[in-house]
Amino acid sequence: MRRLTELLDQPVIERVPVPHDCTDGFGAAFWRRPDAYLDPTVQAGMSLFARTDQALLRPGLERLAADLASGRWHDEHAELLGLDELDLGYRLVTAVA
């Protein structure tokens, strides 16, 4: 980010929080609805899943499924369930043309 802003004239960096009900389907869109990451239709629309070898994804997805089924995910991330939006590091950078 520093290198990018050094190249721009009067850069402005804005935080772009992700709403809990985001429907865009990008990587962090389902932060409060993790079960969506297990849905093959959702996966097909996300480059992270569509372009990664399924063998590499399988262990993490199996852990997520197990954590959701056991309630572990909700126990460990209960604080997320009350949030309307979350700063996941997305930024909008604009500059003078």
Structural domain boundaries, residue 25:
2-94
Q: What is the pLDDT of residue 96?
A: 85
pLDDT exceeds cutoff 90 at 1: no
Residues 44-90 have pLDDT tens digits of 999 999 999 999 999 999 999 999 999 999 999 999 999 999 999 99
The model's pTM is 0.82
Three-state SS sequence of the chain: CHHHHHHCCCCEEEECCEECCCCCCCCCCCCCCHHHHHCHHHHHCCHHHHCCCHHHHHHHHHHHHHHHHHCHHHHHCHHHHHCCEECCCCEEEECCC
| CATH number for the domain harbouring residue 34 | 3.40.50.150
Domain count, the chain: 1
pLDDT exceeds cutoff 90 at 97: no
